[in-house]
Amino acid sequence: MPEGPSIVILREELAPFVGRRIARVEGSARIDQARLSGQRLRAIRSWGKHLLIELEDVSVRIHLLLFGSYRIDERKDSKPRLRLRFAEGELNFYACSVQLIEGPLEAAYDWSRDLMSTAWRPRATLKRLRERPRLLACDALLDQTLFAGSGNIIKNEVLYRIRVHPLSLIGELPPAKLRELVREARRYSFEFLDWKKAGVLKANWLAHGKSTCVRCRIPLVKAKALGRARRRAFFCERCQKRYGDATQLSPDEPSAVDEG
């Protein structure tokens, strides 16, 4: 599943289409396609893992899910979920979720929750985290109401870099460590963006997909389904400290993990 930085790259790639008018709409998405035809593309925006195509009286939300993809001015052999054709060029989206959003996007999205947004507010995120002390650290970094755009790569890398065990309880983290978690999630997201653009993202992974701790020189733990999110995790039992007893979790702790 593409994470926030990858959606920012897609947003930038689509920027040349802003101002163009849609000539034809095709695809298998169950939306009112006729409504989009003839509309001018006003803006390309993103929020977390959502690509937002803002038109004159409606917006299109694209979520690439686990296996979605896109093509600009070219096509795959498979049928697209959505194809937007212009007088010059076309956009094709495959194996993704397509939804229409009515009204202004400012009413639909809280931009302060988006890790990649200039409106990101770390103090507000800290407040939301403190209100959920029984949340696991690994689940917190996948919760889109807290860190919109964060995914499994960001989760594993951030926790490794700040030396926090993924099964730590948010409420048991020292205040300085909780602030470090929020700060590093934002910082690493922009490093992710830079490395992705340069084609060296994997070369800079310290934990995700790795087998050995670069600090302790011992095998990393690889969990296939950790936390309530049941997502892959890579961590070191020696240098990533575990805060609190996660065995005493409440079964109804809310979560907004973006599973696609």
Mean pLDDT per 10-residue interval, the chain, length 260 residues: 95 98 97 96 98 97 96 96 97 98 95 96 97 97 97 98 98 98 98 98 98 97 94 97 74 51
Which pLDDT does position 245 carry in this prediction?
A: 81
> In this structure, how many other beta carbons lie within 10 angstroms of the beta carbon of residue 103?
10
One DSSP character per residue, 88-149 reads S-EEEEES-EEEEE-S-HHHH--GGGBTTSTT--HHHHHHHHHT-TTSBHHHHTTBTTTSBT
The span from the CA of 56 to the CA of 26, in Å, is 19
Is the separation of the CB atoms in 45 and 60 below 8 Å?
Answer: no
Give the strand order in the sheet containing 43-47. 43-47, 50-54, 59-63, 97-101
Which pLDDT does position 1 carry in this prediction?
A: 78
Which pLDDT does position 255 carry in this prediction?
A: 55
Structure pTM?
Answer: 0.92
Which pLDDT does position 92 carry in this prediction?
A: 98
